[in-house]
Amino acid sequence: MTTRAPGEETQAFANVAALAARQLNGGASQGVTAAKSTKPATPTLGAIQTFGDVTGGLEDQVRVVVNGQTILVAESYEVQSSMLVQPSTFSLRFGWGDVLRGLIAMAQPGFAFQLYVGDTPQFTGQIDGFEATSDPSGGGELTIHGRDSLAPLHDAFVTSETSFANATYLDMVGGAVLAAFPNNPPITIAQSADANRKLTTGIGVVPNADPETNAGQNPTGPTAKQLRTKIGERWYEFIKRELDRAGLFLWAAGDGTLILSQPNGNQPAAYQIVRRRGQTRNAVNVTHASYRNATEGRYTEAIIYGRGGGKKFGRTKASGSFVDTEMQGFGFQRPLVLRDANVNNAIQAEYYARRKLAETRRAGWQLVYQVAGHTVPSLLNGQRAVWAKDTVVRVQDDELGLDGNYYVEKVVLRRGPQTTTELTLQRPADLVFGSDEGGPGT
């Protein structure tokens, strides 16, 4: 297993693999060696047949590579990639004018799968299955579907109880990866998404500050307590339960490596969506837009009561609050009051209040754009950039009355027959994750 430290392309992290192996083997060391990350071989466009529209020229054309072979005749596809829902998924339908068995043989379950927009890798995983239909004329269709490289971790069950004592979050994930990928090549775990943004957008997108999604938890921070798996649960369920407390996320990069980090809305906008009244041609051709701002389940203020002190000074009440100014602006007076014994001071209470309000804001607010093609001129360098998740887009929309930067939480690439990209956006201020246990002052 390999990890990459923030700001570095690839760095061996053999001690993590060795510790994870010891954790899984009752403290005994196993032969786990660190390996450098290698990106999948990227076939050049050249004379390879591709499919797509002319929105961005060659940059918008999509290629599918299965077990190292390019499959040429895809009629439609849908590739979903989200920060909040893992793993990412794909479904593609291929038309075929010859005997279907030849195409079926090229797309068997378990085969490696890669999808490129232009020469930019967007998705690496494996085929889960297929559905084939044929007609008397000899033609037919084959639909294949699958998931990204996180899927084995999602599927693998814990077969024996395992303890992680004095482990970091990176140790915990490393141990789960070793258990879920026992026969796979070494897996790279990056601690920053910077390299993946550069990879999947095709340009360099570098955050201008650390994320503000939690109170400073990071992959090399210590877990809150001794951790123990449960027989019968999935490895992904186990690590997600602990990562949720810390506000950390595990997702797959475009090249198939894994990323253990946080959503980062505090970065420069890589794209822009501009819709002006009376303007017939915009930089981004928006084919559909939906905007929801619902107040059910939202509150004007969260007030958290905990406990503080100890035997020496006696028990005192710790409390803190946070205000949703938008709800107050709507004229509501609807406080949320919670009590949690794990909150020990006012700083923790205030952070917990902020997180609870952010959860309700994300549930009630959503902005979705469907745009033509898969690429757009970038604000950063003028080159065409592929739409990718975990990035920021500048929105100036006269139709909906919106003006500001928004976080790209989900991207869906589609063709059927038009080539479009669906973008699900969130407000950067709502990217607050983790629990009171992962809050400040612990």
CB 98 within 8 A of CB 141: no
* pLDDT at position 388: 95
CATH architecture for residues 271-294+365-430: Roll (2.30)
Residue 110 above 80 pLDDT? yes
Per-residue pLDDT, averaged over 329-347, amounts to 86
Residue 75 above 70 pLDDT? yes
Alpha-carbon span 120 to 386, nearest angstrom: 8
Per-residue pLDDT, averaged over 62-70, amounts to 86
Query: Which residues fall within 8 angstroms of residue 275, CB to CB, at 6 or more apart?
Result: 282, 286, 289, 396, 397, 398, 399, 400
Q: Where are the domains of the chain?
A: 1-265, 271-294+365-430, 301-363
- The pLDDT-based confidence of 37 (bands split at 50, 70, 90) is very low
Of the chain, the end-to-end C-alpha distance in Å amounts to 31
- Mean residue pLDDT of the chain comes to 78
Per-residue pLDDT, averaged over 232-245, amounts to 89
Query: Which residues fall within 8 angstroms of residue 38, CB to CB, at 6 or more apart?
Result: none
Rounded (5°) CA angle 62-65-69? 130
Strands 188-190 and 258-261: parallel
* pLDDT at position 29: 28
pLDDT tens-digit series, residues 357-367: 888 998 999 99
Please identify which residue in the block is written with the tokens 């593609």: 92
Token code pair at residue 154: 């999602």
Amino acid at 12: A
Token code pair at residue 48: 């390879």
Residue 433 above 70 pLDDT? yes
* pLDDT at position 281: 64
- The pLDDT-based confidence of 22 (bands split at 50, 70, 90) is very low
DSSP category for residue 157: B
pTM: 0.80
Alpha-carbon span 88 to 251, nearest angstrom: 9
Alpha-carbon span 280 to 291, nearest angstrom: 22
- The pLDDT-based confidence of 350 (bands split at 50, 70, 90) is confident
Residue 312 above 60 pLDDT? no
Q: Is 227 helix (H, G, I), strand (E, B) or coil?
A: strand
* pLDDT at position 14: 28
Per-residue pLDDT, averaged over 290-304, amounts to 93
DSSP category for residue 208: S
* pLDDT at position 424: 97
Query: Which range is most confident: 98-102, 161-165, 278-282, 314-318?
Result: 161-165
Nearest to 356 by CA among 293, 436, 296: 436
Residue 372 above 80 pLDDT? yes
Amino acid at 261: S
* pLDDT at position 214: 45
- The pLDDT-based confidence of 398 (bands split at 50, 70, 90) is very high
pLDDT tens-digit series, residues 146-181: 999 999 999 999 998 888 888 888 999 999 998 888
